[in-house]
Structure 1
């Protein structure tokens, strides 16, 4: 009898990587978390800290420290290592430094015999995911960027606060780049079966002056607002990554807007960007193609073209 055990390797044990590990361990999302970092003592310290809380959790998730050769039997490798943007930079400005880091990571992982799924968090995530796809040679379904998953959660929080509804009851998507060019498919936003446009129209006094462009601006700027206050962001993206990982390992068929390679969907090809997709045990099972308005589709194309322009230099 063979008992399958799930294993997630996390490359980089900075604030994002360690928070992702914490989310996986506390949620009992997998059987083993493997921590890999050039700073092995930092990784070992994180391992010890995580292990010491196991007694108070629902299950004993194994936490170990290793190196790239230990990724051979991993189901998912999460890449968090990268160059964070400095004040005044965009995520795209970090591409040069992040690209070099990714080159040093992917090759030894593939040499280990890894055949699982890459989940990319490192920014600029859409372009880095495309680069990992190119370097790894894996099928497109097995290379996933976190894309606009966190942006969508931020958008749903803003809408939920506005209409005083649990954000989990809001159905909405931010699409395109995980960055300044992303757009919101307002025609597809619903709350309790009602479109957002209907909610605004049916409650003119309550929602007088609601500015959709401002909501998009606030969604895009949410990460920077956090950065200004605490230096960086990590809880939101870590929890988002854990949600994506659980959807894959538990074969949930959950729809999450992640960054994946488009091959004709939305009229785009050869570009990674954020779109809703069905996630399961094999990675991206299917891209959900929303029926966007002409204006929305134009904004999506502009975002995709921006990503494509940077990806041409890979």
Structure 2
């Protein structure tokens, strides 16, 4: 089923590897990290899962030479987030330097597969990898607002007393404070949420959309403040995306992708619904947004654009 190289063996990278092993997503997993001794320990620990799993995935310590025949590179290497950081964009400069160093070594070894990016700030890192790698835009995929959208469904399900899988909805824009929840496209069992709230007085009183929005946006920072990192949610999201690529699932998932005219935008990476398959991004879905949603989305894209402009100054 393919070979995956994970660059960055911290909590996200190892959670991704653990999830892939449990799901039998690929044949081979290589971990690369600047801290080789710790990574060797992670590889040993992960390999011991095999006796309790149906997976036959081989896990080993990798080097950048492994990128030559890798199908997917999962980029989780990132700057350490300082305590008290309020925004994923605050450690921008360090993230840029790490990304440039990684991409240089990856491409020097002849990689021509799909980059799957989880390192924050994910929209900026996704864009930078596209620029520095020279790979086609469909081969550069950021996790973007996929996890935010999963959080939205989980939180909203709690208010509505239904299973999260019965809810369809998504977040768009920056994976961060400026993201937008596209309420006009949220459905519950196929019924538009906004229509459901109009028709049901009890639900309308207990479902505060503004409160839910802030709960979704603050979920990551809250988890970080409580445990020092986020890992399980993004780890399983990455495994899910890897599986979708290898299986050529052609699912529609909100991801950070390079826009080239979609939504009237160019030359940036931002979270939008996209079809993912064996070749990477196969199609970008353009939703009809309500006027307020479109304005919110445009404002979010401006936040990302402003940081992209800063890349030339570093």
TM over 0.5: yes
1:309 corresponding residue in structure 2: 306
One of 196, 199, 204 as aligned partner of 1:202: 199
Matched residues in 2 for 1:191 and 1:293: separation? 19
Give the Cα separation in 1 of the matches to 2:247 and 2:229. Answer: 30
Aligned partner (choices 72, 75, 86) of residue 79 of structure 1: 75
CA RMSD of aligned residues (A): 1.0
Displaced runs of 4 or more, over 2 A: none
Q: 1:23 matched to which residue of 2? A: 19
Partner secondary structure for residue 248 of structure 2: coil
Gaps of 5+ in 1: none
Q: Tell whether 2:65 aligns with 1:69.
A: yes
Q: For residues 242 and 91 of structure 2, what CA distance do their matches in structure 1 show?
A: 25
Matched, 1:117 2:120: no
Take 1:61 and 1:187, find their aligned partners in 2: how far apart are those partners?
42
Match of 2:42 among 21, 46, 51: 46
Deviation at 1:60, TM superposition (A): 1.1
Whether the 8 Å CA contact 1:84–1:123 is kept in 2: the answer is no
Between 86-95 and 12-21, the greater mean CA deviation after superposition: 86-95
Deviation at 1:108, TM superposition (A): 1.1
Tell me if the contact between 1:174 and 1:184 (Cα under 8 Å) persists in the aligned partners: yes
- Secondary structure of the corresponding residue to residue 270 of structure 2: strand
Kindly indicate whether residue 65 of structure 2 is the aligned counterpart of residue 59 of structure 1: no
> Which residue of 2 is the match for residue 270 of structure 1?
267
Task: Compute the TM-score of the two structures, normalised by the length of structure 2.
Answer: 0.97
Shift of 1:70: 1.1
Q: For 1:93, what is the secondary structure of its paired residue?
A: coil
- Aligned-pair CA distance for 1:84: 3.5
CA shift at 1:209, angstroms? 4.7
- Aligned position for 2:178: 181
SS of 1:262's partner is strand
Give the secondary-structure state (helix, strand or coil) at the position aligned to 1:29: coil
Counterpart CA distance in 2 for 1:75 and 1:40 is 23
Match of 2:257 among 254, 257, 260: 260
